[in-house]
Amino acid sequence: MRIAQTAIEYLLMLAATLILVAIVYKVVVDSMRTLSNSVDEYVKVMRKKLLENL
């Protein structure tokens, strides 16, 4: 019975770890998307200013 309990505890810890990894992955992907959008917007503004000054 103790082996089954240990296996269940292991699976629960594994599930919790996978949930945390999924949350971290989602946060990183959202951050990268936001950063990419910010950089794109900055490039557009700088390109517009550069063309205005020519």
12-52 pLDDT, tens digit each = 999 999 999 999 999 999 999 999 999 999 999 999 999 99
**Of the candidates 28, 9, 5, 29, which has an alpha carbon nearest to the alpha carbon of residue 17?**
9
Give the per-residue pLDDT at 14.
Answer: 97
Cα distances (angstroms) measured from residue 11 to each of 14, 18, 20, 21, 26? 5, 10, 14, 15, 22
Range(s) of the domain holding residue 45 = 23-54
Kindly indicate the confidence band of residue 5, based on its pLDDT and cuts at 50, 70 and 90: confident
10: confidence class by pLDDT, cuts 50, 70, 90: very high
Q: Is residue 10 part of a domain?
A: no
Give the integer Cα–Cα distance in Å for 22 and 52: 45
Q: What letter represents residue 16's amino acid?
A: A
Structural domains in the chain (count): 1
54 lies in some domain: yes
Alpha helical stretches, state H, 1-54: 2-53
